[in-house]
């Protein structure tokens, strides 16, 4: 699953220090992995198997700053991802999230992201949202979502954007809301 365009410029993200950090070690915000990403992270990123949970989530490590947890792929000194060009699908999609509520698959935006809060009504965000909707409604992406139902999470503090076409094909996957 490849997203070719990025929404937020890297300089903005590198200043933020919000992503890749978690208050709890079992946060719903931990990135879920596609099957092929699990093997790629173990083989290519040299991520220890113990840092991938049975439910295919990257397991955070204690923050060296002493509070909370961070993704083990984050370099806290530079605020950069060690595998940025090979980062998981959910990380590429962010600040967009695939949310499951009452058997409906929704594209949402994380309202905790400062960029989203500042640009929620901007034409640029609207244009990028349309791009992501088209991308996720492509038959290949629908199949990927259907084959990887653990990607469908029940996130809070999100802006609901649109129901994705995959909703018709999801019977009972992921957490129900």
Encode pLDDT of 56-109 as tens digits.
999 999 999 888 999 999 999 999 998 888 889 999 999 999 998 888 899 999
pTM metric for this prediction: 0.86
- Give the range of the structural domain holding residue 43, as residue numbers without chain letter: 11-91
114 band by pLDDT with thresholds 50, 70 and 90: very high
Residues 66 and 136 in one domain: no
**Could you tell me if residue 174 is inside a domain?**
no
> How far is residue 83 from each of residues 17, 59, 150, measured CA to CA in Å?
17, 16, 22
Residues 46 and 70 in one domain: yes
What values do phi and psi take at 98, rounded to 5?
-100, 115
pLDDT of residue 2: 65
In the beta sheet, which residues pair with residue 109?
96, 159
Q: Per the structure, how many domains does the chain have?
A: 2
Give the rounded percent of residues in the chain with a pLDDT score beyond 70: 91
**Could you tell me if residue 4 is inside a domain?**
no
**Could you tell me if residue 2 is inside a domain?**
no
């Amino acid at each position: 699953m490849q997203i070719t365009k990025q929404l937020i410029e890297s300089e903005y993200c590198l200043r933020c220090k919000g992503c890749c950090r978690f208050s709890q070690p079992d946060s719903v915000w931990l990135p879920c992995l596609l099957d092929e990403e699990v093997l790629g992270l173990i083989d290519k990123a040299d991520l220890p198997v113990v840092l991938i949970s049975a439910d295919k989530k990257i397991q955070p490590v204690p923050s060296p700053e002493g509070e909370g947890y961070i993704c083990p792929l984050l370099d806290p000194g530079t605020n950069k991802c060690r595998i940025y060009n090979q980062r998981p699908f959910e990380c590429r999609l962010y600040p967009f999230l695939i949310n499951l509520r009452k058997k409906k698959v929704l594209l949402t935006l994380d309202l905790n992201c400062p960029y989203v809060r500042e640009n929620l009504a901007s034409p640029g965000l609207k244009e990028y949202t349309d791009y992501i909707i088209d991308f996720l409604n492509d038959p290949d992406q629908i199949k990927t979502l259907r084959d990887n139902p653990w990607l469908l999470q029940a996130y809070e503090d999100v802006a609901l954007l649109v129901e994705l076409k995959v909703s018709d094909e999801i019977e009972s996957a992921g957490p129900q809301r």
